[in-house]
Amino acid sequence: MNRNNHTKTTRWLAILMLLTMQILNANADVVTVWTTIKVPAPTPTAPLHPSYTSLDEFKNDMLKVTNEYRANHDANPLKWNETLADYSREWAEACIWKHSKSSYGENLAYGYGNVSAAVIAWGEERNMYNFGKPTGYTEETGHFTQLVWKSTTQVGCAAFNCGYSKKDKSKRDDGAEIHEDVFEGMMAPRSSGDEAEGDGLEGLKVARSEPRAQGWYVVCEYTPPGNVVGSHNSYFRKNVLPKKASAADSSSSSSTTSESSSTSMPEPSQNAATSTTIGSQSQPTGGAMRFALDSTLGMILVGLGTVGVGRGLYT
């Protein structure tokens, strides 16, 4: 009897051992696999500067930097004019890269990371201006001379994001807004049927046949207008004065202000550009007439005068 019990016990022990072995082997075959999926991060886009997202910031920065340059060159600070700002806004929204032919002075710029950078681009043209012997209006210094023109008293500006053309791959890769209807560079000449009747904002209807601004387009209108061309550059002598000895560097102080409010001032894009106007086709406020002689017309008159003298000598 005891022998049978011992045999049964032995069998149960053997069965338990076999079951244990099977369980261990089964656990050995279980493998936990952890999988991960790598999701590419979206391309970061540069944050817009507050001067492009807030009207108050835009106005304050524009006046601050503009009036710093004017103070440095002994000109009174400009006051903001909403009528000029409204006009600037309408022209900026058209994204046409040319002057509106307004009766105001006009400075244009595009491709700059903030408003201060655009104004500094205009103002630093002073490094090319000859204060000792003023050369009058030049394309290289015309933005600066309008900026600090002493007789100018009011300004109004606006900025608009014109996007980038589909050809501008670098901007597209940076996540910038792409406008399908934005063209790059000069398009085909206008046909006679496309010719705008009149100047100024009436030219908006020929927008598609004009060169286009890229990115943020800054437009400023000034009154009374500067860059008045006169005899022996007399208007420039009176209105564009040398930098005062005690004046601080406007570009440095503006850069510091920009850094304290956000980050360091962004560099202008590779296609950044500026443009200004020459005030020689209308009469400025105050009654002083503008005198300008087209060089081609001048040569023609000189030639006619020479012919007249020759005929007098030989008749």
Quick: pLDDT tens for 248-261.
Answer: 655 555 443 333 33
Q: Is residue 45 in a domain?
A: no
Q: Which domain holds residue 279?
A: 50-191+204-298
Quick: pLDDT tens for 190-219.
Answer: 222 333 334 445 444 444 567 899 999 999
Q: Is residue 224 in a domain?
A: yes
pLDDT at residue 259, rounded to an integer = 35
Q: Is residue 127 in a domain?
A: yes
Number of domains in the chain: 1
Q: Is residue 34 in a domain?
A: no
- Arithmetic mean of pLDDT, 181-185: 30
Rounded Cα distance between 93 and 85, Å, is 12
Rounded Cα distance between 81 and 2, Å, is 117
What contacts 47, CB < 8 A, 6 or more positions away?
none
Q: Is residue 103 in a domain?
A: yes
Among the residue ranges 79-88, 207-216, 225-234, 283-292, the one predicted with the least confidence is: 283-292
| Residue 85 clears pLDDT 70, i.e. is over it | yes
pLDDT at residue 244, rounded to an integer = 87
Q: Is residue 314 in a domain?
A: no
In the chain, the amino acid numbered 145 is: T
Is residue 120 within 8 Å of residue 237, measured between CB atoms?
A: no
> What mean pLDDT is reported for the chain?
69
pLDDT at residue 47, rounded to an integer = 58
- CA-angle at 226, arms to 67 and 126, nearest 5°: 60
Q: Pick from 46, 56, 79, 66: which is nearest to 262 by CA?
A: 46
Q: Is residue 304 in a domain?
A: no
CATH number for the domain that contains residue 58? 3.40.33.10
| Residue 176 clears pLDDT 70, i.e. is over it | no
Among the residue ranges 18-22, 107-111, 130-134, 310-314, the one predicted with the least confidence is: 310-314
Q: Considering the entire predicted model, what is its pTM?
A: 0.59
Strands 105-110 and 154-161: unpaired
| Residue 40 clears pLDDT 80, i.e. is over it | no
Q: Is residue 313 in a domain?
A: no
Is residue 161 within 8 Å of residue 46, measured between CB atoms?
A: no
